[in-house]
Amino acid sequence: MTSTPVLQVQQLGLSRGGRRLVVPLDLQLSVGERGLLFGGNGSGKTTLMETLCGLLPVTEGSVEHQGRIGYVPQEPHFPDHLTCKDYLNQLHQLGTAPKKQRADDVCQALDLFQLQNHAKDRIGSLSRGWRQRMNLARAWLCAPELLLLDEPQTALDPSGMQALQGAIEQSQTSAILIVAPQGVGCDDLAPLLLELQPAASA
């Protein structure tokens, strides 16, 4: 693609507890591109995603991104007393979109992950699989330019996986990066860019 990258990573090094996790990473994604990084347990997948979205500082190399970021953490946290619809509405109110657009965006996010029948349910009453769909809907709200998905297949049944694949296919105005273990249902969601490798020396 010739468009300006929405994510550009150069020689990014990752460490945790003083231990280096992976060899330096180089990565670039533009709008409409999808990338899938495979890595085993402890390879640095979640540390990478938290660094890319700004939750952890960049200590080696550089990370640059353009536009809004939608992040799907591996362990999501929600205000369990709110309904699904009320929660997404409150998130959207942090922006500047007019009320009509907010309503349309929330409805679209719920529709993408088949959550309309649970729109008035409190998040705390949802099963783990439906909470994961809320995790995804939250990230897709307002069609961010960059979507970072940390093991998005977690707890999804076949219907949920179909919804996830459909959302990825429809998101032509977003760049999408997924991290996951190999062979757990994400292999066909995006072309393989790079496999996370353990550091040569700890």
pLDDT for 197 equals 65
Range of the domain at 133: 7-195
Band of pLDDT at residue 119, cut at 50, 70 and 90: very high
| Per-residue CA distances from 98 to 26, 73, 111, 122 (Å) | 39, 28, 20, 25
Q: Is the pLDDT of residue 157 over 60?
A: yes
Q: Is residue 153 part of a domain?
A: yes
What pLDDT is attached to residue 195? 65
Q: Provide the domain count of the chain.
A: 1
> Looking at residue 192, what is its pLDDT?
59
Q: How confident is the model at residue 190 (pLDDT cuts 50, 70, 90)?
A: low
For 129, the token pair is: 């699989």
Domain annotation covers residue 101: yes
Q: Is residue 202 one of the residues assigned to a domain? A: no
Rounded Cα gap, residues 155 and 102, in angstroms: 28
Structure confidence by residue, pLDDT tens digits, 55-108: 999 989 999 999 999 999 999 999 999 999 999 999 999 887 788 888 999 999
Confidence of residue 193 (pLDDT cuts 50, 70, 90): low
Q: What is the CATH number of the domain that holds 127?
A: 3.40.50.300
1 is a domain residue: no
**Which of 26-30, 116-120, 133-137 shows the lowest per-residue confidence on average (mean pLDDT)?**
26-30
Spatial separation of the C-alpha atoms in residues 165 and 180, rounded to whole Å:
15
By CB atoms closer than 10 A (0-12, 13-18, 19+), residue 67 is middle
- Per the prediction, the chain carries an average pLDDT of 89
Q: 138: number of CA atoms within 13 Å, CB side?
A: 23
Which residues make Cβ contacts (< 8 Å) with residue 160, sequence separation at least 6?
A: 113, 114, 129, 132, 133
Per-residue pLDDT band for 3 (boundaries 50, 70, 90) equals confident
The residue among 120, 135, 138, 149 whose CA lies nearest residue 53 is 149
Query: Does residue 2 have a pLDDT over 60?
Result: no
Res 198: pLDDT:
65
Residue 45 lies in a domain: yes
Residue 200 falls within a domain, yes or no? Answer: no
Residue 2 covered by a domain: no
Indicate the pLDDT class of residue 1, thresholds 50, 70 and 90. Answer: very low
pTM: 0.91
pLDDT confidence of residue 41: 82
Distance CA 170, CA 74 (A): 22
Tens digit of each residue's pLDDT (9 = 90 or more) over 8-55:
999 999 887 778 887 788 999 999 999 988 888 888 899 999 999 999
Looking up tokens 């999808």, which residue turns up?
Answer: 34
Query: Per the domain annotation, does 169 fall within a domain?
Result: yes
In this predicted structure, what is the pLDDT of residue 154?
92
